[in-house]
Amino acid sequence: MSHVGIVGGGIVGLCSAYYLHKAGHQVTLFDQAPIADGCSFGNAGMIVPSHIIPLAQPGMIAKGMRWMLKSTSPFYVKPRLNADLMRWGWLFYRHSTPAHVERSIPVLRDLSLLSKSLFQDLAANGDLAFEWKERGLLMLYKTPSAEHEMAEEADVANRSNVEARVLNGQQVQDLEPHTRVDVRGGVWYPGDAHVNPGELVRSLVAYLTKNGVTILENHTVTGFGKTGAHVTSVQTAEGSFPVDAVVVAGGAWSPTISRLLGLNLSMQGGKGYSFMLRNVANNVQVPAIMLEARATATPMGGDLRFAGTLEVAGTDMTINMNRVRGIVQSINNYYPEIKVDMPAVDTVWRGLRPCSPDGLPYIGHTHKFDNVVLATGHGMMGLSLGPATGKLVSEAVGDKVSSMDIKAFSPDRF
Ligand SMILES: Cc1cc2nc3c(=O)[nH]c(=O)nc-3n(C[C@H](O)[C@H](O)[C@H](O)COP(=O)(O)OP(=O)(O)OC[C@H]3O[C@@H](n4cnc5c(N)ncnc54)[C@H](O)[C@@H]3O)c2cc1C
């Protein structure tokens, strides 16, 4: 049995701890903050095998430029003269090609499908207590241009064996019996699912703690002890912890952590916001992305969570209420009967999506060390891909045969 130190207690670190523990390793997980505070806690809760097209895709740059001009728009890059941002932007630009999209679709699909099957197992095997709903995902649109774009995406999905059904306004309404939906149409991905991420994270923490995994909250990792190409310890202000292997799962902070290992990981935090409407009488039934607004609606029990915006802002965690206003203002365009007021700032949650420049995660060993595995960069899909990543991490740490080919996710690929 080896002792594995995991840096980061988001969904990726927690799932890695789960599968490493199952594989018989002793695990210590470090987080700089209380775990219930991170990016994995207040997100939209969607499990999205439908998302097979990476963020870096043709047309994304032009779209981003248009959106950047409006303070309530869903996408924003905070202008900074910063070498990391410039390198990230250059790599993003270089990967916004049809060839990259074509290469990425099968690997993202396989990773997503692996994760979904692991979610189904986690929901049924009795280790965890969280609600798992398979009602699919609706991509809702109001404009002909979004309809055109979505029809193309649905076609790509169907050709890649991910089921997508193009619906007209009435067919969308038929899926939503309790509240009116005012849209031109939508694409329904019946294979998608949803969870309450906070409930899942809490349940994972409870299971891991009960089963002997050490979780050290408020322990910022500040360095690593090394002998040649081998990491020997994890260092924090509270002391040094000897380990046999290390997993870096620090979300948007992973570049800072990686720098402590001499690695230059390209990543930007993509800040997004969410807030919850409590006890909604006639609740939405199927999670949805309101396409033109780039905002989401996810039912969680009797509540309804709205989320959205992507501000490329490093690791800045301040809340910009203008962006939140953009989400609020868009909701009634799609769901005219849902009463929603501007939330108070202290009820708004924000998180940093760890965005790699090519839209693929980093999963696997780095050539610089024989016992360091990276698991980060999942962008908008970290919750969805958490279980598959955790499983692949446990296989990489244990030098076991991998459940899938992870070459495309190599942390050394740029
Ligand atoms: C608004 C919004 C909606 C989203 N909706 C969805 C969705 O519907 N479906 C989906 O799949 N994904 C969604 N995401 C994305 C998803 O939330 C992220 O991809 C995911 O949470 C990333 O998980 P992680 O474990 O990599 O990082 P995190 O959850 O950020 O965890 C990283 C942890 O590392 C810790 N850390 C950092 N530095 C150190 C250090 N030096 N020492 C110790 N600890 C450290 C941090 O405190 C943090 O807890 C959404 C994100 C946002 C913002």
Tens digit of each residue's pLDDT (9 = 90 or more) over 16-36:
999 999 999 999 999 999 987
The chain-wide mean pLDDT, for the chain, equals 93
Q: Is 364 left (phi over 0), alpha (psi -120 to 50) or beta?
A: left
Pairing of strands 245-248, 46-47: unpaired
Q: Is 307 in the pocket of ligand 1 (CB under 6 A)?
A: yes
With a pLDDT cut of 90, the percent of the chain lying above it is 83
C-alpha torsion angle, residues 250, 253, 255, 259 (rounded to 10): -90
3-class secondary-structure state, position 179: coil
Q: Determine the Cα–Cα distance for residues 359 and 349; give it in Å rounded to an integer.
A: 24
Number of continuous H segments (helices) and E segments (strands) in the chain: 10, 20
Distance from C-alpha of 102 to C-alpha of 278, rounded to nearest angstrom: 41
Please tell me the distance from the alpha carbon of residue 254 to that of residue 245, in angstroms, as a whole number.
17
**Residue written as tokens 């309450």?**
196
pLDDT in tens, 271-297: 999 999 999 999 999 999 999 998 999
**For position 83, what pLDDT does the model report?**
87
| Four-point Cα dihedral 89, 256, 314, 251, nearest 10 | 100
Rounded distance, CA 220 to CA 226, Å? 18
Ligand 1 binding pocket includes 387 (Cβ within 6 Å): no
How many angstroms does the Cα of residue 285 sit away from the middle of ligand 1? 26
Cα three-residue angle 124-194-25, rounded to 5 degrees? 50
Q: Is 258 in the pocket of ligand 1 (CB under 6 A)?
A: no
Q: Concatenated DSSP letters for 267-320? A: -EEEEEEEEEE-S-TT---S-EEETTTTEEEEEETTEEEEEEEEEE-TT-----
- For 134-167, b where at least 16 C-beta lie within 10 A, e where not — what string? eebbbbbbbeeebbebbeebbeebeeeebebebb
Element (H, E) at 90: helix 83-95
What's the Cα-to-Cα distance from 343 to each of 305, 317, 318, rounded to whole Å? 12, 18, 16
93 CA distance to ligand 1 centroid (A)? 24
The pLDDT score that the predictor gives to residue 316 is 87
pLDDT of residue 13: 98
Compute how many other C-beta atoms are within 10 angstroms of the C-beta atom of residue 50. Answer: 26
384 Cα to the center of ligand 1, angstroms: 11
Give the residue-averaged pLDDT of 208-231: 97
| Best mutation site among 31, 224, 273 for ligand 1 pocket (most ligand atoms within 8 Å of CB) | 31
Cα 315–266–254 angle (5° rounding)? 50
Judged against a pLDDT cut of 80, whether residue 78 lies above it is answered with no
The residue-averaged pLDDT of 347-376 equals 96
49-65 pLDDT, tens digit each: 999 888 776 666 656 55
Instruction: Confirm whether pTM is higher than 0.75.
Output: yes
